[in-house]
Structure 1
Amino acid sequence: MTAFLEQTDVEAEYLLDRGKPVPSKNHSRLESRLSFLMTRDYENTYDTFVELSLELSTGKATPDLCLFKPEPSDWLEDEIRVKNTPLGVIEIVSPKQSTQDLVDKLDTYFGAGVQSCWIVIPTFKMINIFHAKHEYKTYMTGELFDEKLGIRLNLEEVFK
Protein backbone atom coordinates (compact mmCIF):
# COMPACT_ATOMS: atom_id res chain seq x y z
CA MET A 1 0.00 0.00 0.00
CA THR A 2 2.87 2.39 0.78
CA ALA A 3 4.36 1.93 -2.70
CA PHE A 4 1.00 2.80 -4.26
CA LEU A 5 0.69 5.97 -2.16
CA GLU A 6 4.26 7.00 -3.03
CA GLN A 7 3.57 6.43 -6.74
CA THR A 8 0.31 8.38 -6.51
CA ASP A 9 2.10 11.22 -4.69
CA VAL A 10 4.80 11.36 -7.37
CA GLU A 11 2.19 11.39 -10.14
CA ALA A 12 0.16 14.11 -8.40
CA GLU A 13 3.25 16.25 -7.82
CA TYR A 14 4.37 15.87 -11.45
CA LEU A 15 0.86 16.71 -12.69
CA LEU A 16 0.68 19.83 -10.52
CA ASP A 17 4.16 20.99 -11.50
CA ARG A 18 3.91 20.42 -15.26
CA GLY A 19 0.18 20.24 -15.89
CA LYS A 20 0.40 16.78 -17.43
CA PRO A 21 0.69 13.12 -16.36
CA VAL A 22 3.98 11.36 -15.65
CA PRO A 23 5.56 10.21 -18.92
CA SER A 24 6.16 6.55 -19.73
CA LYS A 25 9.10 4.65 -21.23
CA ASN A 26 7.79 5.02 -24.81
CA HIS A 27 7.01 8.69 -24.18
CA SER A 28 10.57 9.24 -22.97
CA ARG A 29 11.99 7.27 -25.89
CA LEU A 30 10.11 9.44 -28.40
CA GLU A 31 11.03 12.66 -26.60
CA SER A 32 14.72 11.67 -26.72
CA ARG A 33 14.56 10.48 -30.30
CA LEU A 34 12.76 13.59 -31.59
CA SER A 35 15.21 15.82 -29.72
CA PHE A 36 18.13 13.91 -31.25
CA LEU A 37 16.70 14.07 -34.79
CA MET A 38 15.92 17.79 -34.50
CA THR A 39 19.40 18.54 -33.19
CA ARG A 40 21.09 16.32 -35.77
CA ASP A 41 19.18 17.65 -38.78
CA TYR A 42 18.20 21.20 -37.77
CA GLU A 43 20.85 22.41 -35.30
CA ASN A 44 21.57 25.53 -37.37
CA THR A 45 17.85 26.23 -37.87
CA TYR A 46 16.41 25.64 -34.38
CA ASP A 47 17.41 25.39 -30.75
CA THR A 48 15.55 22.35 -29.39
CA PHE A 49 14.52 22.35 -25.73
CA VAL A 50 13.03 19.47 -23.74
CA GLU A 51 10.47 20.07 -20.96
CA LEU A 52 11.04 23.83 -20.95
CA SER A 53 8.62 25.78 -18.75
CA LEU A 54 6.97 28.54 -20.74
CA GLU A 55 5.09 31.57 -19.49
CA LEU A 56 3.25 32.65 -22.61
CA SER A 57 0.89 35.60 -22.98
CA THR A 58 -1.96 33.06 -23.03
CA GLY A 59 -0.87 30.92 -20.07
CA LYS A 60 1.76 28.59 -18.69
CA ALA A 61 2.80 25.39 -20.46
CA THR A 62 5.59 22.83 -20.45
CA PRO A 63 5.66 21.14 -23.87
CA ASP A 64 7.68 17.98 -24.33
CA LEU A 65 9.82 19.76 -26.91
CA CYS A 66 9.90 23.30 -28.21
CA LEU A 67 11.81 24.91 -31.04
CA PHE A 68 13.23 28.43 -31.03
CA LYS A 69 15.38 30.42 -33.41
CA PRO A 70 19.01 29.72 -32.46
CA GLU A 71 20.67 32.19 -30.14
CA PRO A 72 23.96 32.17 -28.24
CA SER A 73 23.87 30.49 -24.84
CA ASP A 74 24.37 32.67 -21.78
CA TRP A 75 25.53 30.30 -19.05
CA LEU A 76 25.69 33.09 -16.44
CA GLU A 77 22.01 33.98 -16.80
CA ASP A 78 19.21 31.45 -16.69
CA GLU A 79 15.43 31.46 -16.88
CA ILE A 80 13.03 29.30 -14.88
CA ARG A 81 10.01 30.22 -17.04
CA VAL A 82 10.77 31.37 -20.58
CA LYS A 83 8.57 34.21 -21.81
CA ASN A 84 9.60 34.09 -25.47
CA THR A 85 7.19 32.24 -27.75
CA PRO A 86 8.66 29.17 -29.48
CA LEU A 87 8.20 28.70 -33.21
CA GLY A 88 7.05 25.14 -32.69
CA VAL A 89 6.04 22.79 -29.89
CA ILE A 90 5.78 19.03 -29.73
CA GLU A 91 3.47 17.26 -27.30
CA ILE A 92 3.60 13.49 -26.83
CA VAL A 93 0.53 11.72 -25.46
CA SER A 94 1.26 9.89 -22.20
CA PRO A 95 -0.60 6.62 -21.43
CA LYS A 96 -2.80 8.29 -18.80
CA GLN A 97 -3.48 11.37 -20.90
CA SER A 98 -6.25 12.00 -23.40
CA THR A 99 -5.57 13.54 -26.78
CA GLN A 100 -8.25 16.09 -25.84
CA ASP A 101 -5.95 17.37 -23.07
CA LEU A 102 -3.40 18.24 -25.74
CA VAL A 103 -5.93 19.61 -28.23
CA ASP A 104 -7.12 21.95 -25.46
CA LYS A 105 -3.55 23.34 -25.21
CA LEU A 106 -3.63 24.42 -28.86
CA ASP A 107 -5.46 27.64 -27.93
CA THR A 108 -2.65 28.49 -25.50
CA TYR A 109 0.03 27.82 -28.10
CA PHE A 110 -1.55 29.41 -31.17
CA GLY A 111 -2.90 32.34 -29.17
CA ALA A 112 0.67 33.15 -28.12
CA GLY A 113 2.00 32.99 -31.69
CA VAL A 114 3.37 29.43 -31.97
CA GLN A 115 3.46 28.56 -35.69
CA SER A 116 3.29 24.78 -35.48
CA CYS A 117 2.18 22.26 -32.88
CA TRP A 118 2.71 18.53 -33.17
CA ILE A 119 0.69 15.99 -31.23
CA VAL A 120 2.46 12.64 -31.19
CA ILE A 121 0.40 9.52 -30.42
CA PRO A 122 2.91 6.73 -29.67
CA THR A 123 0.38 3.87 -29.56
CA PHE A 124 -0.53 4.39 -33.22
CA LYS A 125 2.87 5.69 -34.38
CA MET A 126 1.06 8.83 -35.47
CA ILE A 127 1.99 12.51 -35.59
CA ASN A 128 -0.59 15.24 -36.17
CA ILE A 129 0.86 18.59 -37.25
CA PHE A 130 -1.37 21.56 -36.48
CA HIS A 131 -0.89 25.02 -37.97
CA ALA A 132 -4.17 26.23 -36.47
CA LYS A 133 -6.62 24.51 -34.15
CA HIS A 134 -8.71 23.07 -37.00
CA GLU A 135 -5.95 22.87 -39.61
CA TYR A 136 -3.81 19.75 -39.37
CA LYS A 137 -2.25 16.85 -41.24
CA THR A 138 -1.80 13.33 -39.94
CA TYR A 139 1.31 11.28 -40.66
CA MET A 140 1.65 7.55 -39.98
CA THR A 141 4.10 6.35 -42.65
CA GLY A 142 6.77 7.73 -44.93
CA GLU A 143 8.06 11.26 -44.51
CA LEU A 144 6.55 13.87 -42.27
CA PHE A 145 6.74 17.42 -43.61
CA ASP A 146 6.00 20.52 -41.58
CA GLU A 147 5.77 23.22 -44.22
CA LYS A 148 5.68 26.11 -41.70
CA LEU A 149 8.92 25.06 -40.01
CA GLY A 150 10.55 23.40 -43.04
CA ILE A 151 11.10 20.16 -41.12
CA ARG A 152 11.20 16.76 -42.77
CA LEU A 153 11.48 13.56 -40.74
CA ASN A 154 11.34 9.92 -41.76
CA LEU A 155 8.73 8.28 -39.50
CA GLU A 156 10.63 4.98 -39.57
CA GLU A 157 13.48 6.79 -37.79
CA VAL A 158 11.11 8.39 -35.30
CA PHE A 159 9.25 5.18 -34.39
CA LYS A 160 12.04 2.58 -34.73
Structure 2
Amino acid sequence: MQPQATEIIETEVVLEEVMSLNHSRLIHRFSVALLPYEEQYDILPELEFELSAGRLKPDVAILPRLTYNWRADIIRYPDPPITAIEILSPTQSFDYLVSKIWTQYFPSGVQSAWLVLPTVRSIYLFVPNQPDVVFTSGTLRDPASGIELEMAAIFR
Protein backbone atom coordinates (compact mmCIF):
# COMPACT_ATOMS: atom_id res chain seq x y z
CA MET A 1 0.00 0.00 0.00
CA GLN A 2 1.34 3.39 -1.04
CA PRO A 3 1.51 6.10 1.64
CA GLN A 4 -0.77 9.00 0.81
CA ALA A 5 0.40 12.56 0.86
CA THR A 6 -1.70 14.92 2.90
CA GLU A 7 -1.67 18.63 2.31
CA ILE A 8 -2.66 20.89 5.17
CA ILE A 9 -3.85 24.29 4.10
CA GLU A 10 -3.99 26.96 6.75
CA THR A 11 -6.65 29.58 6.17
CA GLU A 12 -7.77 32.61 8.05
CA VAL A 13 -11.43 33.51 7.94
CA VAL A 14 -11.97 37.23 8.08
CA LEU A 15 -15.49 38.59 8.28
CA GLU A 16 -15.46 42.03 6.77
CA GLU A 17 -18.38 44.28 7.60
CA VAL A 18 -20.31 45.58 4.66
CA MET A 19 -19.94 49.33 4.39
CA SER A 20 -23.14 51.38 4.30
CA LEU A 21 -23.77 54.37 2.05
CA ASN A 22 -23.41 56.92 4.87
CA HIS A 23 -20.30 55.17 6.18
CA SER A 24 -18.65 55.35 2.78
CA ARG A 25 -19.76 58.95 2.27
CA LEU A 26 -18.24 59.97 5.61
CA ILE A 27 -14.90 58.29 4.90
CA HIS A 28 -14.74 60.31 1.69
CA ARG A 29 -15.77 63.55 3.43
CA PHE A 30 -13.12 63.14 6.11
CA SER A 31 -10.48 62.46 3.46
CA VAL A 32 -11.47 65.62 1.58
CA ALA A 33 -11.86 67.81 4.70
CA LEU A 34 -8.41 66.75 5.92
CA LEU A 35 -6.63 67.60 2.64
CA PRO A 36 -5.29 70.92 4.01
CA TYR A 37 -3.23 68.82 6.46
CA GLU A 38 -1.65 66.50 3.89
CA GLU A 39 1.74 68.24 3.99
CA GLN A 40 1.90 67.51 7.72
CA TYR A 41 0.03 64.18 7.91
CA ASP A 42 -0.88 61.15 5.86
CA ILE A 43 -4.63 60.62 5.86
CA LEU A 44 -5.17 56.90 5.24
CA PRO A 45 -8.60 55.24 5.04
CA GLU A 46 -9.03 51.56 5.93
CA LEU A 47 -5.34 50.86 6.68
CA GLU A 48 -4.81 47.88 8.97
CA PHE A 49 -2.35 48.21 11.86
CA GLU A 50 -0.46 45.52 13.77
CA LEU A 51 -0.21 47.12 17.21
CA SER A 52 0.47 45.96 20.75
CA ALA A 53 -3.28 45.44 21.34
CA GLY A 54 -3.61 43.44 18.12
CA ARG A 55 -4.83 44.17 14.61
CA LEU A 56 -6.83 47.35 14.32
CA LYS A 57 -8.33 49.01 11.26
CA PRO A 58 -9.79 52.46 11.83
CA ASP A 59 -12.02 53.90 9.14
CA VAL A 60 -9.53 56.75 8.74
CA ALA A 61 -6.06 57.00 10.29
CA ILE A 62 -4.02 60.17 10.66
CA LEU A 63 -0.28 59.47 10.70
CA PRO A 64 2.82 61.65 10.66
CA ARG A 65 3.91 62.26 7.07
CA LEU A 66 5.63 59.09 5.85
CA THR A 67 8.43 58.50 3.38
CA TYR A 68 7.13 56.03 0.82
CA ASN A 69 8.95 53.12 -0.73
CA TRP A 70 6.78 52.32 -3.74
CA ARG A 71 8.69 49.06 -4.37
CA ALA A 72 8.01 47.57 -0.93
CA ASP A 73 4.46 47.81 0.35
CA ILE A 74 3.29 47.16 3.92
CA ILE A 75 0.16 45.10 4.58
CA ARG A 76 -0.18 45.88 8.30
CA TYR A 77 1.49 49.08 9.44
CA PRO A 78 3.42 48.55 12.71
CA ASP A 79 3.26 52.06 14.25
CA PRO A 80 0.11 53.58 15.73
CA PRO A 81 -1.61 56.51 14.06
CA ILE A 82 -1.78 59.81 15.90
CA THR A 83 -5.55 59.81 15.47
CA ALA A 84 -7.98 57.00 14.70
CA ILE A 85 -11.38 57.88 13.28
CA GLU A 86 -14.14 55.32 13.77
CA ILE A 87 -17.55 55.74 12.14
CA LEU A 88 -20.41 53.97 13.88
CA SER A 89 -22.08 51.67 11.37
CA PRO A 90 -25.65 50.36 11.61
CA THR A 91 -24.33 46.98 12.78
CA GLN A 92 -22.04 48.26 15.56
CA SER A 93 -22.79 49.44 19.08
CA PHE A 94 -21.59 52.70 20.56
CA ASP A 95 -20.32 50.88 23.67
CA TYR A 96 -18.28 48.45 21.56
CA LEU A 97 -16.42 51.25 19.77
CA VAL A 98 -15.86 53.27 22.96
CA SER A 99 -14.41 50.15 24.58
CA LYS A 100 -12.20 49.54 21.53
CA ILE A 101 -10.84 53.08 21.80
CA TRP A 102 -9.99 52.79 25.51
CA THR A 103 -8.80 49.17 25.62
CA GLN A 104 -7.06 48.84 22.25
CA TYR A 105 -6.27 52.15 20.57
CA PHE A 106 -4.97 54.13 23.55
CA PRO A 107 -2.86 51.31 25.08
CA SER A 108 -1.28 50.88 21.62
CA GLY A 109 -0.13 54.51 21.48
CA VAL A 110 -2.94 56.24 19.58
CA GLN A 111 -3.13 59.81 20.92
CA SER A 112 -6.73 60.69 20.03
CA ALA A 113 -9.79 58.99 18.62
CA TRP A 114 -12.88 60.38 16.97
CA LEU A 115 -16.10 58.41 17.15
CA VAL A 116 -18.53 59.57 14.48
CA LEU A 117 -22.27 59.05 14.97
CA PRO A 118 -23.87 59.62 11.56
CA THR A 119 -27.54 59.40 12.63
CA VAL A 120 -27.19 62.28 15.11
CA ARG A 121 -24.48 64.11 13.12
CA SER A 122 -22.02 64.29 15.98
CA ILE A 123 -18.41 63.40 16.74
CA TYR A 124 -17.04 62.32 20.10
CA LEU A 125 -13.41 63.29 20.66
CA PHE A 126 -11.50 61.02 23.03
CA VAL A 127 -8.04 61.89 24.34
CA PRO A 128 -6.36 59.99 27.18
CA ASN A 129 -6.49 61.79 30.53
CA GLN A 130 -8.90 64.44 29.23
CA PRO A 131 -12.69 64.76 29.41
CA ASP A 132 -14.57 63.47 26.38
CA VAL A 133 -15.93 66.21 24.14
CA VAL A 134 -18.95 65.95 21.84
CA PHE A 135 -19.16 68.12 18.72
CA THR A 136 -22.48 68.68 16.97
CA SER A 137 -21.62 71.95 15.23
CA GLY A 138 -18.83 74.48 14.99
CA THR A 139 -15.18 73.46 14.85
CA LEU A 140 -13.72 70.21 16.13
CA ARG A 141 -10.26 70.90 17.59
CA ASP A 142 -8.04 67.90 18.25
CA PRO A 143 -5.28 68.72 20.78
CA ALA A 144 -3.26 65.62 19.83
CA SER A 145 -2.87 66.52 16.15
CA GLY A 146 -3.69 70.22 16.09
CA ILE A 147 -6.30 69.50 13.41
CA GLU A 148 -9.32 71.78 13.22
CA LEU A 149 -12.30 70.56 11.26
CA GLU A 150 -15.59 72.28 10.51
CA MET A 151 -18.50 70.02 11.38
CA ALA A 152 -20.52 71.53 8.52
CA ALA A 153 -17.94 70.18 6.03
CA ILE A 154 -18.59 66.64 7.25
CA PHE A 155 -22.37 66.61 7.70
CA ARG A 156 -23.46 68.83 4.80
Shift of 1:104: 1.6
CA contact (8 A) 1:90 1:120 kept: yes
Query: Aligned letter for 1:60?
Result: R
Structure 1: which 5+ runs fail to align?
1-12
- 1:83 partnered with 2:83: no
Q: How does 1:112-127 map to 2 (within 5 A)?
A: 112-127=108-123
How far apart are the structure 2 equivalents of 1:71 and 1:123? 34
Q: How does 1:16-95 map to 2 (within 5 A)?
A: 16-18=14-16, 21-38=17-34, 40-95=35-90
Shift of 1:134: 7.0
Shift of 1:85: 1.1
Query: Aligned letter for 1:92?
Result: I
Shift of 1:159: 0.5
Shift of 1:133: 7.6
- 1:128 partnered with 2:150: no
CA contact (8 A) 1:22 1:94 kept: no
How far apart are the structure 1 equivalents of 2:105 and 2:15? 18
How far apart are the structure 2 equivalents of 1:26 and 1:114? 25
3-state SS of 2:137 partner: coil
Aligned match of 2:142 = 146
3-state SS of 1:78 partner: coil
Query: Aligned letter for 1:71?
Result: L
Cα offsets for 1:95-145 (capped at 9, x unmatched): 111111211211111001110000000000000010028731000011111
TM-score using structure 1 length: 0.84
CA contact (8 A) 2:140 2:149 kept: yes
Query: Aligned letter for 2:78?
Result: K
Instruction: Choose from 106, 110, 131 the match for 1:110.
Output: 106
Identity across the alignment (%): 38
Instruction: Choose from 139, 153, 156 the match for 2:152.
Output: 156
Segments ≥4 residues shifted beyond 3 Å: none
Query: Aligned letter for 2:148?
Result: R
How far apart are the structure 2 equivalents of 1:91 and 1:22? 15
Greater per-residue helix proportion: 1
Shift of 1:17: 4.1
Structure 2: which 5+ runs fail to align?
1-12
Aligned match of 1:5 = none
